[in-house]
C-alpha cells in the first residue's frame, strides 16, 4: 500500500492548483492581527498556501514530510512574494530546537498521523518547539461531519490524479479526543469549534475541528 508520504509526493503538482488559496483564510487573517509579529512554524505546510495571510508580519518557517510538496511550496512562495524557510521532516520528530517558535499553525495535517502513540508524540513535539506563552492554531477533520457518522475513525481517503487513484490515511477526531491529546501534551485549550465557513446550525457537525491553544507561560 502507498504510504501517505508517497501519496502526497504524487499529488503535489496537482494539489498546487486544487488548493491554491488558504483553506481557512478568515481564521488565519484574524490570527495575523491577534499575534502581530514573531516566528511562526507551519506544521504540514504542504505547498504553502496557509502562509499567505501571515506573510507581511512574521518570520515564517514550514515543515512537511513530502519533498515534492516542499518543491511546490518554493514555487508558491516565489509567485506570491513571500519568504518562508522550509525543511523536510516528520511531525513526530520535529527538526527544531526547544522553544524555537512564538506561534504555530497546523491546517489539515495532524489527521494524517497514524496511531494514538504517534499522535501523542506529535503533540508533545509541538509543545517542545514552542516557547512558553506561545499560541497554536490547528484544524483536523471531524468524525461527526456528515458522511462519516457510524464509520471508523481511521480511513483511507481516495484522491485521483489523472488515471491513478491514490489513498491517504486520515484519523477522524472528536472534540474530546483532541482536547485530551493537547492537554496531555501540556497545552491549555483556549477555544475549540468549527470553521467559520461552516453554515450548518450545529458547529459540532462542521467538517473541521479547529482549536486555539497555548503553552502556559510558566513552562
Residue 30 dihedral angles phi and psi, to the nearest 5°: -65, -40
C-alpha–C-alpha distance, residues 58 and 155, integer Å: 35
Q: Are 123 and 185 in contact (CB under 8 A)?
A: yes
Stretch (H or E) spanning 122? helix 116-129
- pLDDT for the residue 1: 67
pLDDT per residue of the chain (219 residues) written in tens, 0 to 9: 679 999 999 999 988 888 889 999 999 999 999 999 999 999 999 999 999 999 999 999 999 999 999 999 999 999 999 999 999 999 999 999 999 999 999 999 999 999 999 999 999 999 999 999 999 999 999 999 998 999 999 999 998 888 888 899 999 999 999 999 999 999 999 999 999 999 888 889 999 999 999 999 986
**Domains delineated in the chain:** 4-214 (3.40.50.150)
- pLDDT for the residue 219: 61
Residue 145's CB: how many other CB atoms inside 10 A? Answer: 18
Degrees to nearest 5, angle at CA 34 with 104 and 52: 60
Could you tell me the pTM of the whole model?
0.95
- pLDDT for the residue 180: 98
Amino acid at each position: 500500500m502507498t504510504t501517505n508520504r508517497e501519496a502526497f509526493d504524487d499529488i503535489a503538482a496537482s494539489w498546487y492548483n486544487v488548493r491554491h488559496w488558504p483553506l481557512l483564510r478568515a481564521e488565519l487573517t484574524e490570527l495575523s492581527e491577534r499575534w502581530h509579529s514573531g516566528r511562526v512554524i507551519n506544521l504540514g505546510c504542504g505547498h504553502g498556501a496557509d502562509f499567505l495571510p501571515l506573510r507581511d508580519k512574521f518570520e515564517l518557517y514550514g515543515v512537511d514530510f513530502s519533498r515534492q510538496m516542499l518543491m511546490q511550496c518554493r514555487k508558491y512562495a516565489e509567485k506570491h512574494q513571500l519568504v518562508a524557510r522550509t525543511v523536510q521532516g516528520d511531525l513526530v520528530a520535529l527538526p527544531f530546537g526547544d522553544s524555537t517558535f512564538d506561534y504555530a499553525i497546523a491546517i489539515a495535517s495532524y489527521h494524517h498521523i497514524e496511531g494514538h502513540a504517534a499522535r501523542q508524540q506529535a503533540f508533545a513535539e509541538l509543545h517542545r518547539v514552542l516557547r512558553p506563552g506561545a499560541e497554536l492554531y490547528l484544524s483536523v477533520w471531524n468524525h461527526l461531519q456528515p458522511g462519516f457518522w457510524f464509520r471508523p475513525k481511521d480511513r483511507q481517503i481516495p484522491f485521483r490524479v489523472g488515471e491513478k487513484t491514490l489513498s491517504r490515511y486520515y484519523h477522524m477526531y472528536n472534540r474530546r479526543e483532541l482536547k485530551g491529546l493537547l492537554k496531555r501534551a501540556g497545552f491549555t485549550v483556549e477555544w475549540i469549534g468549527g470553521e467559520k465557513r461552516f453554515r450548518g446550525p450545529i458547529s459540532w457537525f462542521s467538517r473541521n475541528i479547529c482549536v486555539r491553544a497555548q503553552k502556559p507561560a510558566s513552562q
